Each structure stands twice: as C-alpha cells, then as structure tokens.
C-alpha cells in the first residue's frame, strides 16, 4: 500500500508539472499572437447605405474596432477626415471607408455653375490675399491696334476656395456660370493682364438709406428746440408795449 501510494503521488506531481508547462506555453503563445495583432484600433465604417456623390454626414458613419495589425494608412481613424467629403462609389452598411474612395465635396452652390482656378502668374495678379466666400471684381487689360484698353470683365464673383503655397496665398477658385467659363479661361490665357480685386462687401442699400435717415430723425428735436427758443424774446417784446399802453392810459 505504501509503495502504490508513493507511485500515485509521483505520477500526480509529474502530471501537475506537465499541466503547468502546457499552461505556460499556451499563455506565451497567446501573448505572441496579441503582440502580433496589436491593440484594437477604432476605424470608421458606413453606418447606413451611402450613395455615390452624396455628402457623408455623421449620422451615416459608425465606429468599429479592428486589430492594429490590419490597420493601414487608408483607414479613416479621425472623423474630421470625413468632413465635407463624398464617396466616389456607393457604400453599403458596414463597408469600411477608406481614403482612396473619398473626394472633396464640390463647393458649387448652383447646378449650372462651375469652379475656375485662378493662380497668381505673369498675367494674373491679386491686390490682396483673399478668403473663401469673398467677392471679387475681375479687371482685364489688353493692348490693341486702337490703343490700350482696360475694362471690368466680371463683377461680384464669389470666391469658393483659396490656394496656399507654403503658407502664402497663391490663388483662388471662383464660382461662375457655365456660359462665362470659356470667356474667363480665354482671358487668363490670352489677356495682357488680369487683375483680381476684392469687392467692397458693405451694408446693403436699405441699410445705407436707414443710416442716412437716422441723422435726420435726430435733427428734428434740435429744430424743434430752435423754433421754441424765439418764443421767449416775443414775450420780452410784449412787456415794453404793455408799459407804453399803461403810460398812455395813465
């Protein structure tokens, strides 16, 4: 009995050692797999069906976690990267959104308008740096057989986007009608000089008229006071007349 118990105890210890070794190697393998896959990273996918050329809204996307190993530079990890973007292909719910399928949404406000790029060059010059939504006038100068001529080519043109080169203003994209697009491009290519000046975006005509009326309203009380002031001398003039009547009556 003592010998059998001793053998059983030895087998039990050996089995426990094998189990511990198996557990240790399994844990190490799991750690290696985790290190290989990396931590979980949040990427953005389509939360609902998104049609091609539709502006992507926050309600149309959803967050999803995938291992770091499978994350590439094309995955969207920052929701700001989806702002004012459209997908060039239709997306179904759950589809991963990648950068190569995104495009900047058009800044054109009307269907029949087009964006024309005007970069600073020998022919094109800007009086001052511009910002999106500014309004500009385009002045064109040409040398002809009849003499030099400068005309206002376009007025009150909307600036849709601004281009910068190393932090310095370099040009704009203006929004014009499709009919005017060939003329503007022709002027950029063949005019002697194209000058872009910022339009004076001031108050409207109604606001100007209201501003002009306000001083008149304020002037009325002054005129009333001026009319009231002569009333006192009239009373002073009546007093000597009363005295004369009293003297004649006496």
> Is pLDDT at 141 greater than 80 in this prediction?
yes
> Is pLDDT at 248 greater than 80 in this prediction?
no
> Is pLDDT at 7 greater than 70 in this prediction?
yes
Percent of the chain with pLDDT over 90: 30
pLDDT at 133: 86
pLDDT at 18: 87
pLDDT at 225: 45
> Residue 10 class from Cβ within 10 Å (0-12 exposed, 13-18 middle, 19+ buried)?
exposed
Are 25 and 54 in contact by the 8 Å Cβ rule? The answer is no
Place of tokens 């991963």: 96
CA distances from 2 to 7, 16, 193 (A): 9, 21, 113
Percent of the chain with pLDDT over 70: 76
> Is pLDDT at 145 greater than 50 in this prediction?
yes
Question: In whole angstroms, what is the distance from residue 174 CA to residue 107 CA?
Answer: 10
pLDDT at 106: 65
Sign of the CA dihedral with 56 first, then 114, 163, and 137 last: negative
Global confidence as pTM: 0.46
Closest to 120 in 3D by CA, of 160, 172, 192: 172
> Is pLDDT at 147 greater than 80 in this prediction?
yes
Closest to 194 in 3D by CA, of 184, 180, 204: 184
Question: In whole angstroms, what is the distance from residue 28 CA to residue 34 CA?
Answer: 10
The per-residue pLDDT of the chain, averaged, comes to: 79
- Helix or strand or coil: residue 5? helix
pLDDT at 11: 82
Which phi and psi angles does 116 have, rounded to 5°? -120, 130
Question: What's the DSSP call for residue 77?
Answer: -
Averaged pLDDT for residues 50-74: 86
**Per-residue confidence at 213, pLDDT binned at 50, 70, 90?**
low
């Amino acid at each position: 009995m003592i010998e059998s118990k001793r053998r059983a105890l030895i087998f039990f210890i050996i089995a426990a050692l094998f189990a511990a070794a198996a557990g240790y190697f399994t844990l190490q393998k799991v750690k290696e797999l985790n290190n290989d896959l990396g931590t979980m990273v949040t990427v953005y996918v389509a939360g609902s069906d998104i049609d091609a050329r539709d502006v992507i809204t926050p309600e149309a996307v959803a967050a999803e976690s995938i291992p770091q190993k499978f994350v590439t530079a094309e995955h969207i990890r920052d929701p700001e990267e989806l702002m004012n973007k459209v997908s060039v292909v239709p997306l179904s719910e759950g589809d991963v959104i990648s950068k190569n399928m995104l495009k900047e949404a058009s800044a054109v406000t009307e269907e029949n308008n087009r964006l024309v790029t005007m970069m600073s060059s020998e022919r094109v010059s800007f009086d001052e740096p511009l910002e999106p939504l500014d309004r500009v006038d385009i002045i064109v100068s040409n040398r002809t057989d009849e003499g030099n001529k400068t005309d206002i080519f376009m007025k009150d043109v909307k600036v849709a986007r601004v281009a910068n080169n190393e932090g310095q203003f370099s040009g704009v994209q203006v929004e014009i009608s499709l009919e005017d697009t060939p003329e503007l491009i022709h002027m950029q290519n063949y005019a002697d000089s194209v000058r872009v000046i910022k339009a004076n975006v001031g108050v409207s005509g109604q606001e100007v008229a209201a501003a002009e009326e306000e001083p008149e309203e304020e002037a009325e009380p002054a005129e009333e006071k001026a009319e009231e002031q002569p009333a006192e001398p009239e009373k002073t003039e009546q007093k000597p007349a009363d005295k004369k009547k009293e003297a004649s009556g006496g």
